[in-house]
């Protein structure tokens, strides 16, 4: 394998844990406003997933995605969304997840080891460009890999084959010589295979064992002897 491409969130960055920290800060604000923070944050999860998918498909803008992910939960609770509160929650969330992201324990070790072995490394992520760049700067991951590709900057996101091919072509290697590693079964694993790359599904909690996809539980499993 000449090139290993990594997803960013929930692959190199423990976004799920970072998001919970952010939600905790948001809960404090909501509680002070007399709003049921548990109900609000529970509504956020499904709404955010749907809106993020629509953003990556180019159906809504970045600004619309960010406004609606924190305004629509109020509507789901039968409440009117106050613009200033929505903006406050959005800034609080973004400052936390983008400027203080948590890395998985195996992230740096694996990237450093692959570099020592002469294997090219890259990151391919679908997140909004400005937020992802902030995460990369805060963690130093941009310097830890050879290339970073962000769907919003490319003009096409995973699962488009173009997203994968744009990364592979930078290194002048064959598609079959590139390995994609990510936590999303469809966007990272299936899409990479469909684009002609090899793939491993990062399944840290064994949630997808029954899917039949080739998986690993830790990033360290990809290291060459």
Average pLDDT of the residues in 39-48: 95
Beta carbons of 11 and 158 less than 8 angstroms apart: no
Percentage of residues in the chain having pLDDT higher than 90:
94
Q: How many CB atoms lie within 10 A of CB 180?
A: 27
- Give the pLDDT confidence of 116-137 residue by residue, as tens digits: 999 999 999 998 999 999 999 9
Percentage of residues in the chain having pLDDT higher than 70:
99
- 7 pLDDT higher than 60: yes
- 225 pLDDT higher than 80: no
Domain covering 15-99 in this structure, CATH number: 1.10.150.240
Q: Is residue 138 exposed (0-12), middle (13-18) or buried (19+ Cβ within 10 Å)?
A: middle
- Give the pLDDT confidence of 130-186 residue by residue, as tens digits: 999 999 999 999 999 999 999 999 999 999 999 999 999 999 899 999 999 999 999
What single-letter DSSP state applies at residue 103? B
Beta carbons of 201 and 182 less than 8 angstroms apart: yes
For position 122, what pLDDT does the model report? 98
Please tell me if the domain spanning 3-13+103-222 has the same topology as the one spanning 15-99: no
Domain boundaries, the chain: 3-13+103-222, 15-99
Q: Which homologous superfamily is 3-13+103-222 in? A: HAD superfamily/HAD-like (3.40.50.1000)
61: left (phi over 0), alpha (psi -120 to 50) or beta: beta
pTM of the model: 0.92
Beta carbons of 4 and 121 less than 8 angstroms apart: yes
For position 127, what pLDDT does the model report? 84
The Cα–Cα gap between 192 and 194 comes to: 5
- 98 pLDDT higher than 80: yes
Identify which of 160, 157, 167 has the alpha carbon closest to the alpha carbon of residue 132.
157
């Amino acid at each position: 394998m000449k090139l290993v491409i990594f997803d960013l969130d929930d692959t190199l960055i423990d976004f799920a844990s970072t998001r919970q920290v952010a939600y905790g800060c948001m809960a404090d604000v909501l509680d002070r406003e007399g709003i049921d923070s548990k109900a609000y944050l529970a509504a956020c999860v499904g709404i955010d997933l749907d809106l993020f998918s629509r953003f990556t498909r180019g159906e809504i803008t970045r600004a619309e995605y960010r406004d609606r992910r924190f305004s629509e939960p109020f509507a789901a609770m039968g409440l009117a969304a106050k613009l200033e509160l929505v903006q406050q929650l959005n800034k609080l969330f973004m400052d936390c997840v983008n400027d203080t992201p948590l890395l998985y324990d195996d992230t740096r070790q694996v990237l450093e080891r692959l570099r020592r072995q002469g294997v090219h490394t890259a990151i391919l992520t679908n997140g909004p460009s400005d937020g992802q760049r902030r995460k990369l700067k805060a963690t130093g991951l941009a310097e830890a890999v050879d290339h970073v590709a962000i769907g919003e900057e490319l003009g096409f996101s995973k699962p488009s084959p173009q997203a994968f091919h744009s990364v592979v072509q930078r290194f002048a290697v064959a598609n079959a010589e590139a390995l994609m590693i990510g936590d999303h079964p469809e966007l990272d694993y299936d899409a990479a295979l469909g684009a002609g790359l090899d793939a491993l599904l990062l399944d840290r909690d064994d949630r997808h064992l029954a899917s039949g996809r080739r998986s690993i539980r830790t990033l360290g499993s990809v290291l060459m002897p």
